Each structure stands twice: as structure tokens, then as C-alpha cells.
Structure 1
Amino acid sequence: MTAPEPTSETTTAPPTARPRALLARVPELTVLFWVLKILTTGMGETASDYLAHTIGPVLAVCLSGLALAAALAGQLAVRRYVPWVYWTAVAMVSVFGTVAADVAHVGLGVPYAVSTVAFAVALAVVLGLWHRTEGTLSVHSIDTTRRELFYWATVLTTFALGTAAGDLTAVSVGLGYLGSAVLFAVAFTVPAVAHLRFGLHPVVAFWAAYIITRPLGASVADWMGVSSVRGGLGLGTGAITLAWAAAIVVIVGGAVVSGRARAATVD
């Protein structure tokens, strides 16, 4: 899905405003953005499973929560989009959101159907408060700390919702991880088609696709990592976590180098 053109709700900046490149705190919505988003969701899923089984779910929640707090503090401190800072924060959101959703099911016994509905309601509340306060949900308008806080609250909620929804289809419904991956891959194309062919509002299309990437990436990573008894390839959650994390580092590193090269050329 390519970046939608700014709508009337995002074009109210005064003539003296600085270019978006200097104000933006989140990346442009390119193909690379969606690739990294799916990679971070999968990495977070398997990292969560690995940590929960290695050090226990309670300690995993505590440690991932601290890592998330540090990553978000760094993201809010830079006040602009810095690739490695931003994607580190997304990765930590992925790990913590997954652990939190899993603990709700495994530790508290909350059924996936219930947690999916609960997280969906929580997401609706966050989006409603964001829109009521700022008048827009467009990621093109995230140029203040308050809007960025709403953004990260939304991102965290979408990760928890996606985790519950992915487990619901794979385990409770019985599609398995590969079947769920196919389901969500098809679902991911729906907002893009609806936007490009039928005029779905770009902000609605973005957030719909964003939510779907969570169970999509998680289902693929789970399918690769879990044992054949559970319908997977049996490569191991630790190995998949490292492999997907390495891919993220390579892509983000390439983006940083490319950005510096473009800046040097302009200068």
C-alpha cells in the first residue's frame, strides 16, 4: 500500500511551517515500511514465545516492559524520525504487546475470543480519544508530542489485538498458523483495493492494513518456528527471532546509509 495523498484534514499547516521531512516523527508509508512492519511483528511474536518459555512469562513481561519504556523514551526524545530509534521502539512494542496478550490467555485464562473483543474495544477507545482531541488520525499529521503519544498508544493496542486475533484463528478456530497466514495475507490486500478502487478513506485504509499486519507477520513467524506437531516447520522460535531481527537490522541500516548518501548529495 502506498502512502495516500494528504486529505483536507492534514493540509492546514501555515505557509511558514517547516517541511514535513523536518517535522515528521514517523516514516513515510512506502513498501519498505510495510515490509519492516511485518518483520517486526513476526520477530516480536517469536521473541515473546522464546522469552516466556526461557525465563517465564512474568519476568518476560517485566523485562520487555522496561525495554519498551526505554525505547519509547528514546523515540520521544529525538522529536523526529530516526530509522533505528523508531524501529527499535516498534520492535519493543511488538515484544511487549505479544507477551501481554499471551499472559492474558495463558496466565489469566482469558479466551482468545474474549481478549480479541476486549482489545478491539480498547483500540476503538484510543482512536476515538485521538480523533476527538486532535481532529485527525492521519499519520501525516504526527508532528507534536501529544499526537505521537496517541500514535504509540494506538500501535501498542493494535499489536495486542493482532496477537489475540492471530491466536484465535490459528488455535481456537483451527486454521493453524499457515492457514491463518494465508487468511491475513488476503485480508491485508482488502484495504488497499478498497482505497485504490472504491475510494475508501486513506486513513481508514491505513489503520485497517496496519492492524492486519500484526496477525499476518505473527502467523508466518509462528509457522516457521513452532514444531511440526503444532503444524509448523520446527525451525525454533529463537532461530526465527534472530533471523528476522537480522533482516530488520540490515534493512534499517541500509535505509540509514541511503539517507546519509542522499543528504550528502543535496549538501
Structure 2
Amino acid sequence: MPRSTPAHVATVRNKVPDPTASFWIVKVLATTVGETAADLMSETLGLGLPLTTVVMGAVLVLFLVLQFRARSYRPSVYWVTVVLISIVGTCITDNLTDGLGVPLWTSTTVFGVGLVVVFLAWHRVEGTLSIHRIDTVRREAFYWLAILFTFALGTAAGDLIGEQTGIGYFPALLLFAGGIALVALLRFGLRVDGVACFWAAYVLTRPLGASLGDLLSQPTSDGGLGIGTITTSTVFLAAILVVVGATSVRLRRSSAALTDGSVEAVRLRRSPAAD
């Protein structure tokens, strides 16, 4: 008879969400906030890019600690961490470009190579890049390192395309949306590997969200709609809270239903009528 796991031994379940429709919606919202919030703090609030990077980097470390200490997927902690990585990834690229004068093609290449190296190391150690079993510290470390590189790469590549072509925010938005649609076609139409398509879409949602954020927040004289970084950041953060809140409620209900089902199954097994 197999030995059951003692009730006092905690088990770690998958700590990241599955890529459902709500996942991608919040991901785009988070990347948009990453773009507008970085501009809000560094420019509108006058903190400057270096100080914004330090402050948000410190907050990111705090939430990464909370995320690593969790034993299952906690939507609030996870998505705050994603928003913070989006902001920090934007700041890293902007510091290299604006502060150190590193050409965008150089940073795009470096971040692209860095992401490939992370993927190769991850696959060599774990044998897969799947996000469905992020249940060890090592796998989670690979996961978040890859996420950081995708945000930095997406920011650099998006800025590179925008500056080299000068196509404007709305055409850039359509361009990256078309890229994501192509990835979806490859996945669901041609049955291309799901892991590769997931990470390709993850990279593309970064410049998509950045283009959307710039389109909404930048002045009309620069090709934007002039809504401003404060309003854009606030509205998108509120949308994230609504979606993540609904997800949290659904997860709690599912967990409660599973717990009730397990208790009922044990009761039936112990009941004399079940013999």
C-alpha cells in the first residue's frame, strides 16, 4: 500500500499562472503600466531615472522574496512582481540608452543573447522550458530571470524599431499586435511548439504594451492622445486589480471546493454505509 504524505508536510504547487486569456490581458496591462509608471516617476515626479531604478529595484527584490517564499500561485504577489519587473526592465534599458549612450541595437543584441543563454541553461538543467511545473526554487529562478530579460529585450527592440522606422505609436501598436497574431496562428493553426510560441508572445507583448502606453500618455504633438502618465497608469492599475481580484476569488472558490470534496471523500470512506 503506498505511503500517504503526512498532513503536516507542505507541498509546493505550480507557482505561476497558466497562459489563459486573462493571463495575457493582465500581461499587456502590466507592460503598459511598466512603461507609463517609469516615465511618471522619473519625469513627472522628478525622481530621475537612476533613483527610480534603485527604488523600484529594491521593491522588486522584496516582492521576489515574497514570491519565492510562497508555496503556490498567489495572484496578488505574482502580478505585482510582474509589474515591478516591467518597470525595472524599462529603467534598465533607458539607463543604458539615455544614461550611458549605449546604442539600441547593441542593447537589443545583448538582451537577446542573454535570454537565449538563460533558455539554454534552463533547458540543460531542467530538460524543459515549460511553465507548468515551476515548483522548485531553481526552476523559479530560471523563470524570473527569463522574465526580466524578456522585458528588457522587448523594451530595447520596441524602441529600436520605433526610432529606426519613425512609424509612430499607433502603427507600432498594430505591428506588434500583428506579430502576436502571427504567433497565435503558428501555435493554433500550424501546431508549432507551445513553449516556443509562449515565450515569443511574451517578448512581443512588452513592446505592444509600451506602444499602447505611449499612444495614450504622450502629448498629441508627439503623436499620442495626451491622456498623461498619471491617468494612464491609474486606469491600467485599476484594471489589473479588477482582473487579479476576480482571479483570486475564483482560485479561492476552487480550492474550497476541492477541500470540501476531499473531506467528503474521507467521510464516505470511513462511513459504515460505504463498506
TM-score over 0.5 for the pair? yes
**What is the SS of the residue equivalent to 2:189?**
helix
Output aligned runs, 1:80-229, within 5 Å: 80-229=72-221
Q: Which runs of 5+ in 1 are unaligned?
A: 1-15
Distance 2:227 2:76 in 1: 27
The amino acid that maps onto 1:100 is I
Distance 2:99 2:163 in 1: 17
Q: Which runs of 4+ in 1 moved over 6 A?
A: none
1:208-267 CA-to-partner distances (Å, cap 9, x unmatched) read 111111111111111100111211001111211111111101111111122223333442
1:73-113 CA-to-partner distances (Å, cap 9, x unmatched) read 11001131011011011011011111111111110111222
**Which residue of structure 1 aligns with residue 47 of structure 2?**
55
CA contact (8 A) 1:188 1:213 kept: yes
- Equivalent residue pairs, number: 249
- The worse-fitting range, judged by mean Cα deviation, of 39-48 and 187-196 is 187-196
**Which residue of structure 1 aligns with residue 33 of structure 2?**
43
- Note the C-alpha offset of 1:22: 5.9
- Note the C-alpha offset of 1:24: 0.6
CA contact (8 A) 1:170 1:179 kept: no
CA contact (8 A) 1:169 1:176 kept: no
CA contact (8 A) 2:12 2:135 kept: no
1:106-129 CA-to-partner distances (Å, cap 9, x unmatched) read 101112222111111111111111
The amino acid that maps onto 2:73 is Y
Give the RMSD, CA atoms, in angstroms: 1.6
The amino acid that maps onto 2:138 is R
CA contact (8 A) 1:52 1:99 kept: no
TM-score for both structures, normalised by structure 2: 0.87
1:103-156 CA-to-partner distances (Å, cap 9, x unmatched) read 111101112222111111111111111111111101012111100000000000
Paired-residue identity, %: 44
Distance 2:135 2:180 in 1: 27
- Note the C-alpha offset of 1:171: 2.2
Distance 2:213 2:257 in 1: 39
TM-score for both structures, normalised by structure 1: 0.90
The amino acid that maps onto 1:173 is T
* Residue 30 in structure 1 maps to residue 20 in structure 2: yes
Distance 1:48 1:88 in 2: 15
Distance 1:187 1:41 in 2: 16
CA contact (8 A) 1:176 1:231 kept: yes
Distance 2:205 2:244 in 1: 18
Q: Which runs of 5+ in 2 are unaligned?
A: 6-10, 261-275
